[in-house]
Amino acid sequence: MNTNDANCYVEGATSFAESLELKDGFEERACREGLFGLGESFIAGEWTSERLDEKLYRVISEQGSQMSRYNLPLIKYLLLERVLNLQKGRRAYEVGIRHYDLGNDLFSAMLDRSMSYTCGLWDGANTLDEAQEAKLERLCKCLDLTPGMRVLDIGCGFGNFAYYAATKYGVSVVGLTISQEQSKIARQRCAGLPVEIIEQDYAKYSGTFDRIVSIEMIEAVGRKNLPGYFDFARRCLIPGGRFALQVISGESFKRGSSPALDQYLVWLVKNIFPNGYLPNLAELMQPSSHGFVLQDMTNFGDDYERTLQAWRSNFESAWPSLQSKYGEPFRRMWNYYLCGCMACFRAKLVHLYQITYVKTAKD
């Protein structure tokens, strides 16, 4: 342990203890494990807060730079990621089983009527329903959809984009998902439309399409698989076709990244999104060497905090009907997830982009 780390344990522990009112004995762990340790302790009921998102934002803003850059949970994650491809083969389905298949009762209570589990676009919107429709409309405009086009939706979720694009723009859609529960609702919603929902890992699929969309699915692809993901999109797209990507991005797990963000992301990987990874800006520029030209890029990360607030409000309102199935530790875990994400977006540690790529004429 170097001198700076030792000072962190002493000074940081005092700050954490005062700001979070932690039980005796947890102060050192809070400093040593940062937002990871705070999350584990919050689930266990060792501390609480009426304004959890604000409390975590203060921790990130005021103590984030004092946190130890490397701690045991982060080191374990980095070593595991180096040795294994955490998102390949059977591991690609783990996030579907552990997260998206938690229960459609949970997601239908938390999300809007279209069950869009991605950020809404709040410019001019007053409700979550309006924000999600505005997001879908913007993606359709980015894709420049016309009737009769064939569209691939990589990570189609509950079928919200497929339904919207098929009904409003007259296109046919193939939606890929690794979640059994999502595919059930997507098929029910899109019954009678030119929509096919396939429960399959994208890496094992092949086809040819005029357009491709992927809305916050790339975060489950993994660092090692990003080149293959963009190669897959190129192979499936006709020359001149458009690829619209909505993506959460962050500078993480590397020299110079925020210790607070790295620690929180390791907590998310353990508890919420197994094997997840946020692409950084350099990685999102890679398609220029994979047969794509970047045509448009818009950042509306500020809208995610408002989306998360709406989800949390819906979740808390519905909790009496969910409590017997999920239990209090789950409620605390879910609140730490939603509020931690709010804090990270508010602190500008993560961003939300809509990017439009165009495939070059030559394959």
Q: What letter represents residue 221's amino acid?
A: V
Beta-strand runs (E) in the chain: 150-154, 172-177, 195-199, 209-215, 237-250, 292-299, 350-359
User: Is residue 344 annotated as a catalytic residue, yes or no?
Assistant: no
Kindly write down the DSSP assignment for every residue of 210-244, as one continuous string.
EEEEEES-GGGT-GGGHHHHHHHHHHHEEEEEEEE
Structure tokens at 239: 């020359």
CB 334 within 8 A of CB 109: no
| Cα separation, 115 vs 189, whole angstroms | 11
Structure tokens at 310: 């709406």
Element (H, E) at 78: helix 72-83
Instruction: Give me the residues paired with residue 246 across strands.
Output: 215, 354
| Cα separation, 176 vs 173, whole angstroms | 10
The owner of tokens 């963009």 is 230
**Nearest in space to 213 (alpha carbons), one of 281, 157, 293, 282:** 157
Structure tokens at 130: 């309006």
Neighbouring residues of 196: CB distance < 8 A, sequence distance ≥ 6: 172, 173, 174, 175
| Cα separation, 112 vs 120, whole angstroms | 10
| Cα separation, 333 vs 340, whole angstroms | 10
| Cα separation, 161 vs 156, whole angstroms | 7
Catalytic residue among 119, 140, 341, 344: 341
Structure tokens at 356: 């439009």
**Nearest in space to 316 (alpha carbons), one of 332, 304, 301, 303:** 332
Going from the C-alpha of 222 to that of each of 81, 126, 178, 227, the distances in angstroms are: 9, 35, 15, 10
Catalytic residues: 341
